[in-house]
Amino acid sequence: MSETSLFRERKNRKLLLSAGFSWLFDAMDVGLVSFIAAALSVDWNLGAQQIGLLAAINSTGMAFGAAVSGSLADRYGRKAVLLWTLLLFSVASGLSALAPNFFVLAVFRFIAGFGLGGELPVASTLVSESVPVKVRGKAIVLLESFWAGGWILAALISYFFIPHYGWRLALVIGALPALYALFLRRAIDDSPRYKEQADKGKLSFSQRMSSIWSGQYQRATITLWILWFTVVFSYYGMFLWLPTVMVLKGFTLVKSFQYVLIITLAQLPGYFTAAYLIERIGRKAVLGVYLLLTAVCAIWFGNAGTAGMLLTAGIFLSFFNLGAWGAMYAYTPELYPTSIRSTGVGFAAAFGRIGGIIGPYLVGLLISNGTSITSVFVIFFIAIVIGALTVLLFGRETKGMDPDRV
């Protein structure tokens, strides 16, 4: 059976679309935070350090959510945890619209981040376990491509609503995915692999943690944690600041939203090329090449002096960085067996979210202290190169492998 006909099968298409839309709503919420931060800097007169703190708080919630939900999904199933995390971030996003001050907004953003961070590794684990090995990588990258759709939706909402109706309405729209959970409850089920493993008995939390750090998986865990940290650190440090960086470079708020929308559109071909290549040249090659080219584009973007150069550099930065994200999500679940998979993925993602805490806050701190945008992007260049070299030198190729039979 060919890959194309395989993805025409109703059960695979339904799973990918169902999980994909939950992924899209996650991305929409994260994207809205970046656009709202730019609006809040004007509305509440927030400084760069406060904007960075807001993004860091959101990422702190994501770190806790990834660790807790990843572990719970191995204990109680992928489906249950996916539904509850989707509801949690949707409700918290809606309540954020009522925030009277920065402190209350930060509290709701932490709760929303917890749900967001918990949903992503669980969704990728569910899809990875549910599709045939020969298209597993492609399926996860296509799942990750819904992230671009969410950012595009966030950019459209921000462009058409925030300048005219304010940032609160944008957050109200961010609460709508709660309704999607009603559909998702009937549309998906736990993977056959998880059900089979659950019938054999479930490991305790301490047993799962011991396993991911055992001699068999220790190298994979260390590699993943470094990879996730560097990728998340650089992504959230760069992309959550994109609208604000545009404003700092002299563009109006509306113009910055237009540019970020165009840059975000470049994510889609980045995902699709990675999906095409990942089953042909392997996970390590796609990750290494896309990350190294992301690093080059980060330097290019940081040094861009004209509107045209800034836009072009941003397009290529978006293309390669998000293609690498797709490959990373495909690669991570393949390194662990079903019994500890969600725990391994969740804690790798959680450690990465620490980078997501540091990155945005560091940008705010550096900019408030007068550091140039060019120097800030040099830091991201170094981090991305470290991540690329780590996976190329120490990572294990997983193309075509079944981790339950290793």
Looking at residue 368, its pLDDT comes to: 82
Range with lowest mean pLDDT among 16-30, 215-229, 344-358 = 16-30
Q: What distance in Å separates the CA atoms of residue 152 and residue 142, rounded to the nearest whole number?
A: 16
CB atoms within 10 A of CB 233: 27
Q: Which domain holds residue 133?
A: 11-187+213-399
Mean pLDDT along residues 53-75 = 88
Q: Which pLDDT band holds residue 380 (cuts at 50, 70, 90)?
A: very high
Q: Which pLDDT band holds residue 291 (cuts at 50, 70, 90)?
A: very high
Residue 225 vs residues 43, 328, 351: alpha-carbon distances, Å: 38, 11, 6
Alpha helix locations (H) across 44-135? 48-76, 78-96, 102-130
251/274: higher pLDDT = 274
Mean pLDDT along residues 164-172 = 86
Mean pLDDT along residues 350-374 = 87
Structural domain count of the chain: 1
Mean pLDDT along residues 289-315 = 89
pLDDT over 90 at 189, yes or no = no
pLDDT over 70 at 5, yes or no = no
Residue 11 vs residues 20, 121, 174: alpha-carbon distances, Å: 14, 21, 28
Which pTM value belongs to this model? Answer: 0.84
Mean pLDDT along residues 396-402 = 86
Q: Which pLDDT band holds residue 6 (cuts at 50, 70, 90)?
A: very low
DSSP letter assigned to residue 135? G
Residue 285's Cβ-count burial label (10 Å; 0-12, 13-18, 19+) is middle
Q: What distance in Å separates the CA atoms of residue 286 and residue 403, rounded to the nearest whole number?
A: 20
For the ranges 236-240, 261-265, 303-307, 347-351, the one whose mean pLDDT is highest: 347-351
Mean pLDDT along residues 249-269 = 75
Can you read off the two tokens belonging to residue 224? Answer: 């993943």
Looking at residue 253, its pLDDT comes to: 57
Residue 227 vs residues 196, 231, 249, 322: alpha-carbon distances, Å: 31, 6, 31, 14
Q: For all residues of the chain together, what is the average pLDDT?
A: 86
405/222: higher pLDDT = 222
Alpha helix locations (H) across 131-252? 136-165, 167-173, 177-187, 192-200, 205-212, 218-239, 242-248
CATH number for position 243:
1.20.1250.20
Mean pLDDT along residues 88-106 = 90
DSSP letter assigned to residue 13? H
Q: Which pLDDT band holds residue 55 (cuts at 50, 70, 90)?
A: confident
pLDDT over 90 at 328, yes or no = yes
Residue 199: inside a domain: no
Residue 67: inside a domain: yes
pLDDT over 90 at 22, yes or no = no
Q: Give the H or E element holding residue 216.
A: none
Residue 218: inside a domain: yes
Looking at residue 1, its pLDDT comes to: 40
Looking at residue 4, its pLDDT comes to: 46
Instruction: Quickly tell me which residue has 């819904």 as its tokens.
Output: 146
Residue 281: inside a domain: yes
